Structure 1
C-alpha cells in the first residue's frame, strides 16, 4: 500500500535524524566526562577515543529506543496536521491499522535493541573496565610524562624527565629523588635511557651526573659524581579483573542467583520491552486535532518516557536490594504500558464517549 510505504520511509528518515541529534549530544557529554578522567590520571590519554567509542556502543540501545519513539510521534503529528490521516480514515482504515506499518518498521530495530542490551552492553562495559584496570596497573616507567613531576605509588620516589624519545627510550635532563630510611637521595643527570631487562622488569640508567645523599635538617650530605646510576622501576602486580554485574555476560547473570545479578538482568530484558511499550503508546499519543495544530503530544511523550525509564530503574534497584523478587517486577511495568496503549487507542476511536465506558465491551451503547 502506498500509504504504508510512505509511512515507513518517513519513519526511517525521521528516526535517522533524531538518532544523529541524540548521538551527537551523548558524544559531547562523553567526551567532556572521559577527558576529565584523563586529566585527573584515571585513564590514559591514548585510550580516550577507544573509551568514548565503547561508551557510545553501550548506549546505542537506549538512544535507538528514544529515537524511534520520538520519530513515530513526529511523523504522525505531521500527518494529522497536514490532514493526511483524514485520507487514511476516509479509505476505511482506523487508528489500530496504523500499528501494522509502524511495527513492521520497528521490528528489525527491536531486534537490534535486544541484541545491544543483552550482549553488546555487557561487552562494552567489560572492555572499558579492562582498559581502566590495565592503565592503573602499569609500571612507573609508563607513568613518567615529559616535563612533569611524577611521584611513585609508595610516595618515596619522585621522577622528572624533560624529554623522552618514545622510539629509543632515551631520556634527557633527569631528576630522581628517593626518600628511604629517613635519608634523602637526589640524583641528576643530563642523559640516560629506560632499559627493559630479560625478566620483564624495567630500570632507568642515567650517566655522568651527581648524587646528593643525606638526612634532611642535618649537615651530613654526601656529594658523589657517577658515570652510571641505576634506578629500579617498581612494577605493580597485575590484579585479576573482577567483573561486576554490569560487565558480566547475560548467560552468567541467568545462572547467578544473587539479587544484584537479577536486578541487572531485569534491566537488560526490560529495555527492549520498554522500547516496544513506547512504540505502542506513541501511535495513539500522536493524535492531533488539525484545527488546533499544536505539539502538546511531545510534552506528554517526554513525561511518559521519563516516568517509564525511572520506574524501570526503580524496579532494578528494588530487585538488586533484595526488596522484591525478579519474577514479581519483570512484567507489571510493561503490562501497564500495554494497557495504557489500549486505553489511548480506544479513546481516539471514540473521543465523544466517556473514557471509562470505552473500556467496557458494549460500553459505547450505554
Structure 2
C-alpha cells in the first residue's frame, strides 16, 4: 500500500504539472482567437469566459492521455535515475507488480477521459455552437462599439456615436453601403440618423435597423450630383433570417444517438473515437512502462523523444483512420480498432522484452 501511494503520487503530480502547462498553452491559443473575434466585433467580450469553460472537456479529452503518458515517463525516469526502482525490485517488487500499480491510476484517468469523450465534450460543443449562432444572429447590436466604424459584411459599414446600454438604442447613426440600381449601375448610399434601434420581422425573421430623423444620400461614381432623401423613419435590412444551426452533426450527437445510427459512417467514426479515447490511455500506460527505463548516465529525458514520436504516430493514425471511416473508405466494422490492436501489441512486446531483461537491469 505504501508503494502504491508513493508511485501513484509521483505519477499524478507529474501528470498534473504537464497537463497544467499543456492546458495553459491550448487555452491561451483559443482565447487569443476568441479575443481577436471580440475585438473585431464578431462576438461580445461577455461570453468569452463561458466559451472557454465549455471548451474545457474537449481540451482535457486530448490533454489527459498525453499528460499521463508523459507523467509515467518522467516520474519513472526519475525513479530509475535515483535507483529507487532497483531497490524496489531487489526488495521483491516484481515488474508485473509495478505495472499493476500503474494501471490503477490509469483506470481513473481512463474514466475521466471516457466521461469527457462520451458525454461532456459533445454536450459542451453543442452548447458553444448554439451560443455562437445566437451571437451571430444578434451581432449587430450586442457587439457594436460606440465611436467605432464596424463592418457588417456585404459592403456595409456602420457607426454610432453612443449606444444606450439599457435598450441598445443607437445615437447619431452613420451607415455606408454599396448597392446596385435596377439597371445594374453601382452606387454608394450614405445614411445618417439621429436615432436607431434593431427590430425583427415576426413573419420573415429578418432583422432591420430602424432609423429615425435622418437623411439618405445616393451617390453614383462619375456623377457630380447626389440624390437626397429626408425621412422621419427608415428601415435598413441587416440580414435575412438565419438558418438554424446544424446540430445533427455526429460531433454534437449524444453517444446514445450514435449507437442508434451505426449504419452512418460519420456516426460510426465518431463513436469509435469516443470509445477508443479511454482505451488509448490504457495502451499508452503499457507503452510508457518499458519506455520509462533509462540508464542513469543517459538522463531522464533520454527516451522522451522516441516516446513522443510513438504517441504522435498513434494519434495521427487514429485521426487519419477516423477520417477514412467517416468518408466510408474503411468499413465501420473494422474501423479504428486495428490501430489500437497494433499499438497494444507493441506495448506487450516492449513490456515482455523489458521483463525478460529485468526492469532494473
Task: Please tell me the TM-score bracket, short chain as reference.
Answer: 0.7 to 0.9
1:208-247 aligned within 5 A:
209-212=214-217, 217=222, 221=226, 228-234=232-238, 236-243=240-247, 244-247=249-252
TM-fit CA distance, 1:305: 0.5
Verify the 8 A CA contact 2:318 2:336 in the aligned structure 1.
Answer: no
Match of residue 326 from structure 2: 320
Give the Cα separation in 1 of the matches to 2:223 and 2:297. 91
Report the equivalent of 2:168: 169
Q: Distance in 1 between matches of 2:96 and 2:90?
A: 14
> Alignment partner of 1:239: what SS?
coil
The alignment status of 1:91 with 2:91, answered yes or no, reads yes
Q: State the match for 1:111 in structure 2.
A: 111
Q: Which residue of 1 aligns with 2:258?
A: 253
Note the aligned Cα RMSD (angstroms). Answer: 2.9
The TM-score with structure 2 as length reference comes to 0.84
2:48 is matched with: 48
Correspondence list, 1:282-321, <5 A: 282-321=288-327
Q: Does the CA contact (< 8 Å) of 2:321 and 2:335 recur in 1?
A: yes
Structure having the higher Rg: 1
1:335 aligns with 2:319: no
Aligned counterparts of 1:222 and 1:341: Cα–Cα separation in 2: 78
Residue pair 2:170, 2:195 contacting (<8 A) in 1 also = yes
Cα distance in 1 for partners of 2:176, 2:315 equals 54
Structure 1: distance between partners of 2:4 and 2:176:
75
Structure 1: distance between partners of 2:317 and 2:218: 64
Q: Please say if 1:138 is aligned against 2:138.
A: yes
CA contact (8 A) 1:11 1:71 kept: yes
For structure 1, the 5+ residue unaligned runs are 353-366
For 1:21-55, what per-residue CA distance to the aligned partner results, in whole angstroms no more than 9, with x for missing partners? 11111112212233344455554444333222322
Match of 2:74 in 1: 74
Once residues 349 and 223 of structure 1 are traced to their aligned partners in structure 2, the CA distance between those partners, rounded to angstroms, is 89
Residue 218 of structure 1 deviates from its aligned partner by 5.0
Higher deviation after alignment, 263-272 or 142-151: 142-151
Q: Measure the CA separation in 2 of the matches of 1:143 and 1:317.
A: 36
Q: Which stretches in structure 2 are left out of the alignment for 5+ residues? A: none
Distance 1:197 1:300 in 2: 59
* C-alpha contact 1:123 1:247 (8 A) present in aligned 2: yes
Q: For residues 151 and 83 of structure 1, do their structure 2 counterparts lie closer, same or farther at Cα, with a shift above 3 Å needed? A: closer
Please state how far the C-alpha of 1:4 moved relative to its aligned partner.
1.7
Structure 1 contact 138–235 (Cα < 8 Å) conserved: no
Query: Is the 8 Å Cα contact of residues 202 and 233 (structure 1) preserved in structure 2?
Result: yes
Q: 1:142 to 1:204 in 2, by over 3 A?
A: farther
The structure-2 alpha-carbon separation of the partners of 1:198 and 1:29, relative to structure 1 and needing over 3 Å to count, comes to: closer
Call closer, same or farther: CA 1:161–1:66 in 2, change over 3 Å: same
The reply on whether 1:33 has 2:39 as its aligned counterpart is no
TM-score (norm 1): 0.83
Q: Does 1:16 align with 2:21?
A: no
